[in-house]
Amino acid sequence: MSRGPLKSIPTYAIGKYLEKRPGVYETALFQSQEGNRNIHMGIDLFAPAGTEVLAFAPGKIFLQDYNSASGDYGYTLITQHLWDGQTLYVLWGHLAKASIQVRKVGQSFQAGEVLGWIGRPDENGGWDFPHLHFQVSTQAPERCDMLGAVSDDQLEKAKQIYLDPRKLLGAVY
């Protein structure tokens, strides 16, 4: 499934937090009463399918699931971390199926451990360009999901919940 004007993308690339992406989010999943959801609330790390996804810090598996809608996250993990005295929840989306088979909810891990692998289009929600969607939340999600893109009307509230991932990853751009 092709998304937007991109015809090709380098093997490794970064999609930015708060990046406005007109024409990218076209499936029914992104249609809302609040308007066109096209402002990205995470960081995308583009890499070949099968690339290892490593933990940035110690934590535990909070939730895991398969988000099956077209354009959704596909196989997804949410991890829980204590960071500067605050509990944060991180969504790792567009993963390979094996990523939710190697660990169990509640299982702890250390920084640098493999949490999963970037998924192929048939695993990652149908996205042509394999990538990891990395999103940080101050609120514990009830389901293994987070709003990965929001409308202009939702943005101010979303920025209070979904922090800039560079707070955890460092200056990746």
pTM of the predicted structure, to 2 decimals: 0.88
CATH architecture under which domain 13-169 falls: Distorted Sandwich (2.70)
pLDDT, greater one: 5 or 20: 20
pLDDT above 90: percentage of residues in the chain: 74
pLDDT in tens, 76-108: 999 999 999 999 999 999 999 999 999 999 999
Return the amino acid letter for 143.
Answer: R
Evaluate whether 58 touches 97 at the Cβ level (below 8 Å): no
Taking 80 as the threshold, does the pLDDT of residue 163 lie above it? Answer: yes
Q: Is 159 helix (H, G, I), strand (E, B) or coil?
A: helix
What pLDDT shows up at residue 78? 98
**Buried/exposed code over 110-144 (b: 16+ C-beta within 10 A; e: otherwise):** eeeeebbbbbbeebbbbbebbbbbbbbbeeeeeeb
Q: Over range 139-146, report the average pLDDT.
A: 97
Evaluate whether 55 touches 115 at the Cβ level (below 8 Å): yes
Per-chain mean pLDDT for the chain: 89
